[in-house]
Amino acid sequence: MENLDWKNLGFGYRKSDYNVRCYYRDGKWGELEISSSETINIHMSATALHYGQEAFEGLKAFMGKDGKIRVFRMDENAKRMQDSSDGILMAKLPVEKFQEAVRIAVKMNTHFVPPYESGASLYIRPLLIGTGPQIGVKPANEYLFMVFVMPVGPYFPEGFKPTDLIIMREYDRAAPQGTGKYKVGGNYAASMVEGKKAKEGGFSAVLYLDSKEKKYLDECGPANFFGIKNKTYITPLSDSILPSITNKSLIVLAEEMGLKVERRKVPYEELAEFEEVGACGTAAVISPIKGVYDSDKDKWFKYGDEPGVWSEKLYNKLRAIQYGDEPDKYGWVEVID
Ligand SMILES: *Cc1c(COP(=O)(O)O)cnc(C)c1O
């Protein structure tokens, strides 16, 4: 095992030993290749650089108490990358190839998987880019798929702590019938200005309203939104949100815990009714929210300074499955050996 300060890694790029690559040329995917280089050599006219033909994924591997390394729901990430590829006309990588690349990337870097006690994990970043040259607006003829990994610290090194969100109606992340539902870099470029503003104001993220009417809750910059009231887990149904695998998993666990689940349009006014609010995604599983500030109306919605009971239960349950502390009855984890 590497000698790193596992608890204080934070979330930043860190070099590991190997990455995996696969090229799409002449209408077909090649073999998986292992590389120890951190750089790629691509054509200056590659479509990824000019026209945003780029999609990515994010998932994690966890070291269990039993010393086994588990990867969480990677078939879902593989399928979502295929959806993203359809969404921006890129070559689709077969699910099996995606999974094999992830397995190899983890196996080749097992000494970077943080120990169980640290609460840290190995972050896995799959990436698909158009590498073929075009100058007219057309999809590339060549693509490169890569997987690289790095250890990341526990999201809550000081414990599971709530943060605030901000609503700013002058910014949209994605259009109602645009690319919001795909995990593509373009959505992130489109959210950086307001994301920076939010951080500078002391908020953890922007809570977007639907772009068309500004009447319904959409999602947070990099995470889905949920609210809980009257023993019901409520999460927005919208064409412009990214289908979070964490959210999909929490829905299953919420039902198992006896909560009702509603996936529907969530009117802005409902912010006043929730007993608990959270943002969910691979990075933190759940980021509990203590307040939502509406900057246009100078109005606060408050949910208490401590995480809500259901949020905490859901968080603990999902983490326990990921680390192998609880049985994986849904077949969500794959042991890498
Ligand atoms: C990746 C992502 C999420 C979270 O998805 P998970 O699969 O749970 O990690 C939520 N919203 C956006 C915009 C994302 O890109």
C-alpha 26 to ligand 1 mean position (Å): 32
Query: What b/e sequence results for 30-61 when a residue is b if at least 16 CB atoms lie within 10 Å of its CB, and e otherwise?
Result: eebeeeeeeeeebeeebbbbebbbbbbbebbb
3-class DSSP state of 82: helix
- Mean of pLDDT values over 103-112: 98
What residues line ligand 1, using a CB cutoff of 6 Å?
A: 58, 183, 219, 222-224, 242, 244-247, 281-282
The pLDDT tens digits of the residues spanning 119-169 come to 999 999 999 999 999 999 999 999 999 999 999 998 877 778 999 999 999
Which among 81, 112, 120 has a CA at the least distance from the CA of 19?
A: 112
For the residues 54-77, what does the mean pLDDT come to?
Answer: 98
Residue 63 — φ and ψ, nearest 5°? -90, 125
d(CA 297, ligand 1 centre) in Å: 28
Residue whose C-alpha is closest to residue 124's, from 245, 5, 28: 245
- pLDDT, one tens digit per residue, over 284-318 is 999 999 999 999 999 999 999 999 999 999 999 99
Give pLDDT, residue 156. Answer: 79
Q: Which atom of ligand 1 is nearest to the CA of 220?
A: 11
Q: Write down the mean pLDDT value for the chain.
A: 96
Confidence at 54, pLDDT banded by 50, 70, 90: very high
Type of residue found at 158:
E
Residue to mutate (ligand 1; options 73, 181, 183; most atoms within 8 A of CB)? 183
Residues 6 or more apart whose Cβ sits within 8 Å of residue 220: 165, 205, 206, 207, 208, 279
| Ligand 1 centre distance from Cα of residue 222 (Å) | 6
Does this model's pTM top 0.85? My answer is yes
| Contact yes or no for 292/167 (Cβ under 8 A) | yes
pLDDT for 8 equals 87
Q: Closest residue (by CA) to atom 14 of ligand 1?
A: 222
Q: Which structural domains are found in the chain, ordered by start? A: 6-152 (3.30.470.10), 163-323 (3.20.10.10)
Q: Which atom of ligand 1 is nearest to the CA of 57?
A: 1
267 Cβ contact partners less than 8 Å away, ≥ 6 residues apart = 215, 216, 217
Nearest Cα residue to 60 out of 327, 285, 249 = 285
Q: How far is the CA of 249 from the centre of ligand 1 (A)?
A: 12
Among 181, 194, 224, name the best residue to mutate to test ligand 1's pocket (greatest count of ligand atoms within 8 A of Cβ): 224
Q: Locate the ligand 1 atom nearest the alpha carbon of residue 246 and give its number.
A: 8
What is the Å distance from ligand 1's center to 74 Cα? 14
Atom 13, ligand 1: residue with shortest CA distance: 222
In one-letter notation, the amino acid at residue 276 is: E
Res. 1: pLDDT tops 80 = no
- Nearest alpha carbon to residue 120 among 159, 150, 152: 152
